[in-house]
Amino acid sequence: MERKYTYLFFPLLLLFWACTESGGEQRTVLQQSAYSYGDSADTLGLSKATFAGGCFWCTEAYFERLKGVDRVESGYTGGSEERPTYEQVSSGKTSHAESVQIWYRPDVITYRELLEVFFATHDPTTLNRQGPDVGKQYRSAIYYHDEEQRRQARNYMRALEDAGTFRNRIVTELKPASKFWIAEDYHQDYYRNNPDDPYVISITHPKVLKFEDAFRSKLKPSYIKQ
């Protein structure tokens, strides 16, 4: 029997999997951030969402293009280690996942819409893996900030399962948000700041273009191609 796809963007799922490492040696010696975390003056009054869906470069680029999203930061969460570094997390030496923290205006974009983007831009059925990126640091996870987010995420995953959206079972973790450690400065806006990176050119850029085409109605005006 033909599988039904009731969610608009899921046929595009395979276009977005994985965001593999490039230039790893250089990354471990660049300047690290101050490891600040939590709300700041320019995020007060905004709602917050936290997702892990593989390499945070691609995930950050997707969400920061959405109308109603005011800020996206790449970082590490879901683990117990204090002050984790990229070298530690990317090598699987911590219990943290590469994640993004999103501040958004719910009167412009809803949490359910963020869930739609999250599940359309990574594979939630591969345990501790996104394409060639393997390890618990690349797990699929939703870190909810209140009971309403937990309820919406749980119900959305159930709806996906009931609709038979994916061939395999969803393995996305659903856990309460914990301390979010902002990644080193050079990871922030990596896609925008490193257009000549070979990986950005060959992998990330094509994925972002396809994302912009698929989610055109949800993009900020500056990202809409005329």
Strand order across the beta sheet in which 173-176 lies: 173-176, 140-144, 47-53, 97-104, 69-77, 181-182
58 is catalytic: no
- In the block, tokens 């790449």 appear at 74
CB-count exposure of residue 15 (10 Å: 0-12, 13-18, 19+): middle
99 contacts 138 by C-beta, under 8 angstroms: no
Degrees (nearest 5) of the Cα angle 142, 204, 101?
Answer: 30
- In the block, tokens 């925008």 appear at 192
Of 55, 89, 100, 120, which is the active-site residue? Answer: 55
User: Whole-angstrom Cα distance, residue 96 to residue 160?
Assistant: 26
219 contacts 65 by C-beta, under 8 angstroms: yes
Cβ neighbours for 8, distance < 8 A, ≥ 6 positions apart:
none
Q: Which residues are catalytic?
A: 55
